Amino acid sequence: MSEYDFPDDLTKAQTELHRAHAEYRALCQTLPWSVEPMPGWPGQKHPYTDEATAGRPDSPGYTPEQVTTEAQLWARIRELSVEVSTHPHWATLDRGPALVDARMALKSQTAVPDGAAGDASVAA
């Protein structure tokens, strides 16, 4: 447990922020490499190993649904980041290393395990 006594609304917001970030990372893993349709390019063949590297396949671009989902998730991340970083609780702590330690403790205390993003809300 933490040596800090964080308000419930602050810990809930930080937990939601962790979940939103995890959901965003999971979404990004499924998206094409380019928002707009773009042609790919071949990789370069290494002269000694014949291994081809750094090529990209054609990108079909994002679907309208993917654009909307990505924008909603990113907006939610921004909203929660502002809520956490401007919470009145931070004004009760001394500035400097103690404040940084408290912010890091909150992040650690509310960390969401990998793959636990499923119940995060997309709607802002």
Q: Are 81 and 106 in contact (CB under 8 A)?
A: no
Residue 53 phi/psi, 5° resolution? -135, 160
pLDDT of residue 120: 44
* pLDDT at residue 114, rounded to an integer: 66
How is the chain split into domains, by residue range? 8-36+63-109
Q: For residue 4, what are the contacts with CB-CB under 8 A and spacing of at least 6? A: 102, 105, 106, 109
**Cβ(17)–Cβ(80) under 8 Å?**
yes
Average pLDDT taken over every residue of the chain: 89
| pLDDT for the residue 117 | 52
Between CA 118 and CA 82 the distance in angstroms is: 23
- Report residue 3's pLDDT band, with 50, 70 and 90 as the boundaries: confident
Percentage of residues in the chain having pLDDT higher than 70: 90
